[in-house]
Structure 1
Amino acid sequence: MNKNNNGCQHCCNEKFNCTGVRPFRAIDVDCIQPNSQPTVEGTLAFGSFYDPSGNPVLISPATPPVPGQKIVFTTPGPSLNVSPAPFPNNTTDLQVAVGGIYEVNMNISVELLNLTSDLIETEVRFGLFINDTVVVNESNFLSLNDLNMVGGAESVVTLRMANTIGNTIQLRLNKDDRLSIRVILATTQAFYRYPSLVVTKIAD
């Protein structure tokens, strides 16, 4: 049949409804107009850093406002647009390749030693840093061992406390921002092991 005769009704995309043959009984997908405002999906981004060895790392004493050492990682996890930063920060910092709203999850196991004769507690506090200069105050997490048993001829007892501490926050990051976990405060006889840093983009 000639589609140009009066028995055919023109549709979009050069399609015709040839009523002289049979009526349309289903929607012709070629005749559906495309969405004039297509949805643009945001760029995915995620990455992680770990140290699964379990080797204890001694934490050097630190007193605010001067920050202490960075937490060192050994093993990158799955990643897309988030990766270890270039040297010399390749074992401490994760760098984001795209800006957006990110969720940052931080966890670390700490071990604190103290003596019952000590007059001060053993304490360590960590925080998230951006580009080594900006500390994210709401990211702080800490562990404290302050049991004190001073008593005449009583034996001095060594107290050992081990636990896993952490924090999860959301914040906006810019392209090429570097993230690291750093010691905010630390007394003597503090150790860490099994650190993890997980960064996931959740919105543009």
Structure 2
Amino acid sequence: MSVNHFGTYILTRTLLPLMAQTSKLSGADVRIVTLSSVAHAMGRAEDKTLTFKGLDDFKREYADDTCPGWSRYTVSKLANLLFARQLQRYIDKAGLDILSTYINPGEVNTFADRMPFPKISKVFMGIFFAKPEQGAYTSCFAAASPLVRIHAGKYRDKYLVPVGKIGKLGKNAKREDLAVNLWTSTEKILEGMGIYMPEL
């Protein structure tokens, strides 16, 4: 979970001053699209005890869970979504015209070849899962559709599901305290490692 979240945070925050400058140019349309998943509202991601107040929360392995990998995945997708939500608040506070959206691409066949029986998995997923090209539709809509800019108030800080529709957030995804904790803790952890993010 930590590698996924911290990588997203560092990359976005490092590029943010450049995006801020670009957003001030005439005709500019700057958007930040963060990949999440319907999993953000499942399993451990819905745990009421989640706080994101310290490093231990980021390092939790969920070793006693039936499927620890799934537990970590759901929490990582929640973290991505909370980061994108707090990012929009940070951008708005700076008075910048940048849109932050977060998306669920849907069930997409991008991993059949890594399953225990790849040939069987390919057939099964070919029936029930979207092709990778189709899985990119909502990302492309969020990043490039003129409708998103025309109706910026409608799409700002929104969770998009296939294709380009506004979806419902899970309970923890609606918690502003979790988003603030995630943002603040991430900054403190990185500063402890000697990594400082540029301010706007």
Q: TM-score of the superposition, structure 1-length normalised?
A: 0.24
Q: Which has the larger radius of gyration?
A: 1
Structure with the higher fraction of residues in strand conformation: 1
Query: Higher helix fraction: Structure 1 or Structure 2?
Result: 2
